[in-house]
Structure 1
């Protein structure tokens, strides 16, 4: 139907276009209402995500707020941009989604394995389907041949005495650990350079990370890279001499490690570079932040520090250092949220219907700090894991490394590194707070992970 007036026709057209856009944007705003799930109110163009987009809260804070807002509920709904998003609070439901019914929730839904970024497209964390299966088999083969020995650790700490930046000290140690682990005698500066890039948090990097997390299709379409890009000539030269490349070649070729894409030639060196990058982003950085948090808590808890220093196995139970590490990973988990995408309509017995492409979120940090699961949950208390009185009885209320088939493949390696580094430092130093030590440990979101948000200064007193 047309009108004689051009302006009237134009006005009607504009209104129709606006109505169609508005309908598209708000299509799922009542999704959780009709399912009788408590939810966060949405606004056009932002969904329920406006607090995070406007910088008022980060993702972890937003999820934790909703978790605590509905203490008696098993699920809380929200809308991320325009797609329904579900926060799963119930450990039994978490167990079904991550383990029992893994086939329905095997994907992270990011599709970043199609990225032009070499370090993302071959990263096990982002892979899906057959590629994920093949990559996991390859990584498992590599990890079986990895030795985590810290014989030369003392060389990383010469002259350490007095007030020091804990992250700087730990970075020196971990640089050496991961160089020996991945490069061997090749040495060089690959690990240090990649670690520095991974820690970078400029405004531009944060914006690109936001696109990667919220609009991954745009990130892929525009060919953006948030981390390392293509390896330099010097980096390639060092990797060619590395222990890692030798192990990859011993396993066969890169096809055995999951690189099975048509019309895309991938060299062993390029794939080895992506593996090193994965070890940095998913291994080094979480270990650095866990160790920083651990030393901070030990400095404030001298009795716990002494018990860790003298830790021995007793009655076939874990050493005290083991439970102390377990406690720090409860209080400050490397990843505060585990996300999965529903791959097909899911309707568990007695549960609600979840449609395909709906994202589920497991609020790891909120679970770990829930008084229903842990007595005095905000307090650092390793003893809770010794007598089991202060710890959760449900194993899916403790998820520092995830659960199910997509559980972190490097769990044992990470635990060995954290324990060995901690043991070596405690043997050599007494750790105390100093004038620059912050009154509390603040964490921030960075590349899906949680990182310590400020420099942590502690006093390292050499032991006689």
Structure 2
């Protein structure tokens, strides 16, 4: 019987220790006097059901209104068994993202550039690694560089126009799938210099791996959590946030493209060409040195991968939601089409970068789409020191996760009256001036804002201009009356298929 006692003790003692640790974690915010979300689950905290039955946007929105009703600028909650702070007041968001950035310069995401090299994208890098890489990458996303890449995006947009023209008779043509293939082809061309042709071949390996990189389930969510909260342990046990087959494809693509171009192959004005210049010179031509060396193949692959993942799903999702809203509002759609036609007519029918930037209603319509359906539902930063939240007596410890629920803010009637109504006039200059600037954050803000914002907006607007200039979109029998969001996607994505009636304007 002695062995049985030893066996039971070996199980019970660790269980008691773990239980005590988890309960101590949950007492942190009440002990510090910080308003706290009630009834956290012992393991899942206040995010039970995330990535399984609910998307994080709805969980954070509930918490946001719970704290807002208590009239507090922030609230404490449990993100699984990690104590976290939810930002309610946009003024606190401003402090976290900009004013006190030096205390919040990391996102707290898992990075292992050796064991999981594609995790080393600019989005995830920390401290000096992030600073040096940001300095190297910033010149690749200027307006001047957008003009270089404009022609490549426009070429793929013409392929989109032809594909829709050939298939617009189909009532079951899914808009989300169509636009994902468009943005995948764009970024395959721009980032890797390859003709993906996913518009014609939706089952290509590139398409399959691209979609797989965005799928999230509870297991992958736990990997992200453990990797972010316990980085040293995660590296020791070999956690990988990028699936092996996805990593292999993108690493091989980067290696092959670099080898081809450096051996005298095609030279293009695209993202890969800019990275090659940094690889060999440490910087782009006519730019100051970032203070670091050039790029390794693994670093090139990681930056191309984050460019792909940050650009293809977010832009396609924005166009998808925008076309749905326009189909539901034919008057707005016609007004926008009129702006497109008139703008092109002033330039002899040619779409240029300057023409695109001059379309005011288009810009406001895309902004309203990003307001109502932001691709990323929240921003997150991690404190690198004890921090007293401005305007309060609340002091939180080092390594506290701060989450800014941008979906909740974007749909808060305090800042956007009748938030369910789609209204581009919310972004007229006088309307923008009337609300807190940090209540609208589709691309983040501050030194760690989205570096690819210009490119994302450019490809989104080129796609919309191409479609609206050639086709009219209206609901059909398969069009959902109301949108819901899938819980298994990082990016806010419709739960159900969106199909529309498409009428060619050139027939």
Partner of 1:272: 300
Quick one: distance in 1 between partners of 2:321 and 2:247?
30
Distance 1:219 1:189, change over 3 A: farther
Alignment CA distance shift 1:202-1:237 (3 Å): closer
**Is the counterpart of residue 230 in structure 1 residue 248 in structure 2?**
yes
CA separation of 1:321/1:362 partners in 2, compared to 1, >3 Å: closer, same or farther? Answer: same
Could you say if the C-alpha distance between residues 7 and 225 of structure 1 is closer, same or farther in structure 2, counting changes exceeding 3 Å? closer
Within the candidate set 265, 284, 292, 2:320 is matched to 292
SS at match of 2:83: strand
CA distance in 2, matches of 1:10, 1:154: 69
Does the CA-based 8 Å contact 2:476-2:500 persist in structure 1? yes
Residue 61 of structure 1 corresponds to which residue in structure 2? 58
Distance 1:151-1:75 versus aligned 2 partners, 3 A rule? closer
CA–CA separation in structure 1 for the residues paired with 2:214 and 2:189: 30
Change (3 A) 1:392 1:28: farther
From the superposition, tell whether residues 83 and 188 of structure 1 become closer, same or farther in structure 2 (CA, over 3 Å): closer
Contact between 1:119 and 1:277, CA under 8 Å: does it hold in 2? yes
- TM-score (norm. length: structure 1): 0.86
Output the CA distance in 1 between the equivalents of 2:403 and 2:138. 26
Match of 2:374 in 1: 333
1:148 matched to which residue of 2?
150
Contact 1:375 1:391 in 2 (8 A): no
CA distance in 2, matches of 1:354, 1:452: 36
342-351 or 141-150, larger mean C-alpha shift = 141-150
Q: Secondary structure at the match of 1:401?
A: coil
Give the structure-2-normalised TM-score.
0.79
Residue of structure 1 in register with 2:350 after alignment: none
Partner of 1:27: 24
Indicate the SS of the match to 1:70: helix
Alpha-carbon deviations, 1:199-248, whole Å to 9, x = none? 23898x62452133211146543243534212475664345346444332
* Contact map agreement 2:196 2:206 (CA 8 A) in 1: no
Task: Report what 1:79 is aligned to.
Answer: 78
Residue 418 of structure 1 corresponds to 460
3-state SS, counterpart of residue 450 of structure 1? coil
- Structure 1 window deviating more from structure 2 (189-198 vs 129-138): it is 189-198
Report the CA distance between 1:374 and its aligned residue: 0.7
Secondary structure of the corresponding residue to residue 461 of structure 1:
strand
Question: Residues of 2 paired with 1:291 and 1:14: CA distance?
Answer: 53
Partner of 1:364: 406
Higher relative contact order (CA 8 A, sep 6+): 2
Matches within 5 A, 1:110-259: 110-114=109-113, 116-121=115-120, 123-144=121-142, 145-146=145-146, 147-149=149-151, 150-152=153-155, 153-158=157-162, 159-162=166-169, 163=171, 164-184=173-193, 186-188=194-196, 193-200=205-212, 206-216=217-227, 217=231, 220=235, 221-227=237-243, 228-231=246-249, 236-239=255-258, 240-241=260-261, 243=268, 244-253=271-280
In structure 2, stretches of 5+ residues that fail to align are 285-289, 344-356
Q: Which residue is 2:436 aligned to?
A: 394
Q: Is residue 224–residue 241 contact of structure 2 (8 Å, CA) maintained in 1?
A: no
Q: State the alpha-carbon separation in 1 of the partners of residues 407 and 434 from structure 2.
A: 14
Contact 1:38 1:75 in 2 (8 A): no
Distance 1:36 1:235 in 2: 48
SS at match of 2:447: helix
- Give the match's secondary structure for 1:334: coil
Number of residues of Structure 1 aligned to a counterpart in Structure 2? 450
| 2:280/2:295 contact within 8 Å kept | no
Q: How far is 1:295 from its partner?
A: 0.7
- Judge which range, 214-223 or 128-137, deviates more: 214-223
CA distance in 1, matches of 2:466, 2:198: 24
Contact 1:347–1:354 (Cα < 8 Å) also in 2? yes
8 Å CA contact 1:46, 1:81 repeated in 2: yes
Give the root-mean-square deviation of aligned CA atoms. Answer: 3.3
Inter-partner Cα distance in structure 2 for 1:57 and 1:183: 35
